Homo-oligomer: A and B are copies of this chain.
Amino acid sequence: MGRQKIEIKKIEKKSSLEVTFSKRRTGLFKKAGELCVLCGAEAAVIVFSPGRRAFVFGHPSADAVIDRFLHRETNSRALVPAGQVHGHVQRQYLEALGRLEVKKEQEETVGEMGRFRGSLEELRKKVADRVEEMTMMMMMESGPSSTAMVEYAAPPQEYNSSGGVLHGHDLAAHGVPHGFDFGFGFDEHLF
């Protein structure tokens, strides 16, 4: 879909890579949104730029979809292009459970409040400084009532909340991953 055909291999020229990343990311999110609207599907797209910034799209929200995925509300069948999927979802679940146990005991209301306040304080400051540059993304015209697209980009240590608290990711809290099954391999039509 462009003036000329390109090979699907890493773009070396940095400037081109940046432009392509931006355009394609936008297109990807748009496509995801359209899929949700057209088919009544729910989807989440997480993209980390080479610069390590995270861009997220979600309908009804990335967190909701991720939770659902992690909770394995569905069954599985797989399609794996390169062989390597085998995953770790379970381990993650188990580990998450372990962490939860610990965290729950360690974190007291007061502690949470302190961190919460600090985070918001920081947020407030950054927003004040940067708001000028922010712009809204208008992807799909009449998207579903709840579609969110966000770019996350906080220091590794800082826990980002945009979804976190508000939506509560107690993924590990309930249930157990179900139906993890890598059925068939996938392929050609992928690339």
Contacts and interface: CB of A to CB of B under 8 A. Distances in A.
A114 B37 CA distance: 42
Interface string A152-184: 111111111111111111111111111111111
A109 interface: yes
A138 B29 CA distance: 14
Bin the interface of chain A by size: 35 or more
- List the number of copies, as a whole number: 2
A39 B52 contact: no
A39 B40 CA distance: 30
Contacts of A9: 37-38, 142
Interface string A121-148: 1111011101111111111111100111
